[in-house]
Amino acid sequence: MLKQRIQTALILLPLMLGMLFFSGSLIWAVFCALIALLVQWEYSRMVGMSGNEQAAYLGGTAFFMCIAYLGGWMLPDLVWLLVALFWLLLVPVWLKKQWQMPCRYISKALGWLLVLPFWFALLALRPDRDSALPLLAVMGLVWIADIGAYFAGKAFGRNKLAPAISPGKSWEGAIGGGLAVLLYITVIHAAGWFGHNSSLIPLWCAAVVLTAVSIYGDLLESWLKRSAGIKDSSNLLPGHGGVFDRTDSLIAVLSVYAAVRFLFS
């Protein structure tokens, strides 16, 4: 399993970095749309959509993305506010109460709330190649948090974070992931990834919040899978499960980061 995970990562990481740093805006939009649509396809399976429903759901999303890109659309502030409230307030309550998946119409709206802000965030945060490094810095936060939590949990994990949702996660792992992120932010701040005029203390504060959001994203996807009675969102990525399995935290973090940035810029 570990060998498969490494082999898959060695293919996906260069592909992601190549697209991030070298693709034009159209290719980047299409690449991000492909990721988002694969996530939505996996999500539609989780919530039990039929084949015809899936086709209409994915086709409608793809059509909207085409129109939005060609029209140069951006999400209005009200939608970004709803996105921030969803991840920062509603998702923690959802996880605590362990709500089951709502009715079909609400579950479809929820799928769009997960996927579309994520896609818009990827486009808005990387309007050109020069914006690739700051976006990579935020994406790196998610990966560092995940790696730090994994090793800290393996070494020190005793107290379960959410045993009914994801038994493998511990408070010690979450703290270890947070500490790894703070170290990461310190290093890339010194390297000037956020600009040399940025202040470290606000970056630390933002990093702590985004680390918590990354955990929410991971736990929400775990709860959706548990509710659907499946282990992985799909088997598209050998050793990793599905695309949703690999992007759950990234969806949450980039959506919240973009929402806060656009609401307060």
**pLDDT range class, residue 235, cuts 50, 70, 90:** confident
- What is the predicted pLDDT for the residue at 177? 96
Q: Which residues pair with 241 in a beta bridge?
A: 237
pLDDT tens, residue by residue, 210-227: 999 999 999 999 999 988
Does the pLDDT value for residue 234 go beyond 90? no
Considering the entire predicted model, what is its pTM?
0.94
**Range of the structural domain that residue 222 is part of:** 2-264
Cβ 216 vs Cβ 91: under 8 Å: yes
Taken in order 50, 12, 72, 85, the sign of the CA dihedral is: positive
- What is the predicted pLDDT for the residue at 143? 93
pLDDT tens, residue by residue, 57-72: 999 999 999 999 999 9
- What is the predicted pLDDT for the residue at 105? 81
pLDDT tens, residue by residue, 153-209: 999 999 999 998 998 899 999 999 999 999 999 999 988 887 667 789 999 999 999
Looking at residue 151, the DSSP 8-state letter turns out to be H
* Total number of domains in the chain: 1
Cβ 119 vs Cβ 32: under 8 Å: yes
- What is the predicted pLDDT for the residue at 10? 78
Does the pLDDT value for residue 3 go beyond 80? no
Side chain identity at residue 169, one-letter code: K
